[in-house]
Amino acid sequence: MPVILEARGLCKAFGAVTAASEVSAAIEKDSVVGLIGTNGAGKTTFINMITGYLKPDRGTISYEGRDITQLAPRDITRLGICRSFQIPQLYGSLSVYENMMVGIGIVLRNAGLAGYWSRANPPVPGFARPAPEVAEHLLQRFGLAADRGRNAQVLPGGARKLLDIALTMVAKPRVLLLDEPTSGVSAGEKFGIMQMVLEAARAEGATVLFVEHDMEVVSRFAQRVLAFYDGRVIADAPPQAALADPEVKRYVVGSARA
């Protein structure tokens, strides 16, 4: 499988704290990669560097052979690398449907299909359907159709997570980074949510990286695991092998919250 995203020797320090130290990883196209590690191990820093929120002190990130290390988050998004958030980042005063429409509006705008005065309803790139239908399609896919009229602010935790992820899908991501998609979700819902998200992501043709603390979820859904400890990648292998690694057992699995 060709490599779609590659990090080489990423280093990042916040004062005396090393958040990333020589982090390298090559992500293959169409794979599902789980990122594990204790809190503060450097998983979110890794995602933040890939999506441009943090600039690494050293090292490079390339996407489809193009260096994206210095790009701003919005430019990286436009290239097709989208992310969800550990704490859902929604438009709280808007309804679920309007949340989607804002996102689709940005996609249309970036494609040059929506100007300052245009109220036309052109097909959304990648979906070949007009905006309202795309919104409905994605809400359906993420089981949010019944909530379309509700304010994003008052949604229950699981639905907030799903909307957060559904929002990333409007831009047809080639690479999708999910920061703890199941945190704050009840144990019973976890597998259902992961199933739904991965099915949706795969159906839209996205390569997925997800941060996860629940090793059961990781071993069931990831094809490959990157284990972080103290800003370093201590294992990079298929789930069985990675979770059996003595260092991973000692530093990650042993202390992970179940």
Partner 1 sequence: MKHDRTTTIIIAAFVLLVVLGKLLPQWAMFIMTVAFARGLVVLGLLLLLRAGLVSFGQALFYCIGAYAAGGLGRFFGISDIFLEMLVGGALAGVTAFVLGFLLARYRGIFFGLLSLALSMILYGLLVKTEALGSTDGFNILPSTLFGWRPDAEWVRYAVLVSAAAVAAFAAMLVHRYLQTPLGRLAPAIKDNEIRVEYMGASARRAVHVKYVIAATLAGIGGALAATAVGHIDPEMAYWTTSGEFIFIAILAGTGNVVAPFVGAALYGAIHTMAYDLSPNTWQMSLGIALLALIVFLPEGVWSLTGKFRARHS
Structure tokens of 14? 């916040």
Spatial separation of the C-alpha atoms in residues 136 and 141, rounded to whole Å: 8
Among 14, 55, 115, 186, binds partner 1 (CB under 8 A): 115
Nearer to partner 1, 117 or 149 (CB): 117
The residues in 165-204 that bind partner 1, with binding defined as CB under 8 A, are 167-168, 170-171
The nearest distance, CB 14 to partner 1, in angstroms, is: 19
Q: Does 109 bind partner 1 (CB under 8 A)?
A: yes
The residues in 36-75 that bind partner 1, with binding defined as CB under 8 A, are 51, 72-75
The nearest distance, CB 103 to partner 1, in angstroms, is: 5
Among 12, 43, 83, 161, binds partner 1 (CB under 8 A): 83
Q: Does 125 bind partner 1 (CB under 8 A)?
A: no
Q: Is 126 helix (H, G, I), strand (E, B) or coil?
A: coil
DSSP H helical segments within 20-65, as ranges?
43-50
Q: Which of 196, 102, 185, 99 is nearest to 150 (CA)?
A: 99
DSSP H helical segments within 58-141, as ranges?
73-79, 96-110, 131-141
DSSP 122: P
Spatial separation of the C-alpha atoms in residues 124 and 21, rounded to whole Å: 40
The nearest distance, CB 105 to partner 1, in angstroms, is: 3
**Share in percent of the chain as helix, strand, coil (round to 5):** 40, 25, 35
Nearer to partner 1, 208 or 222 (CB): 208
Q: Which residues, including other chains, have CB under 8 Å from residue 221's CB and lie 6 or more apart?
A: 32, 34, 194, 198, 210
The nearest distance, CB 167 to partner 1, in angstroms, is: 7
Q: Does 143 bind partner 1 (CB under 8 A)?
A: no
Nearer to partner 1, 164 or 245 (CB): 164
Q: How many residues bind partner 1 (CB under 8 A)?
A: 36
- Chain center to CA of 197: 10
Among 20, 25, 41, 101, binds partner 1 (CB under 8 A): 101
CB-side neighbour CA atoms (13 Å) of 206 = 28
The nearest distance, CB 116 to partner 1, in angstroms, is: 6
Among 10, 19, 82, 243, binds partner 1 (CB under 8 A): 82
DSSP 249: I
Q: Does 106 bind partner 1 (CB under 8 A)?
A: yes
Which residue ranges make up the site for partner 1 (CB under 8 A)?
51, 72-75, 77-78, 82-83, 89-94, 98, 101-110, 114-119, 167-168, 170-171
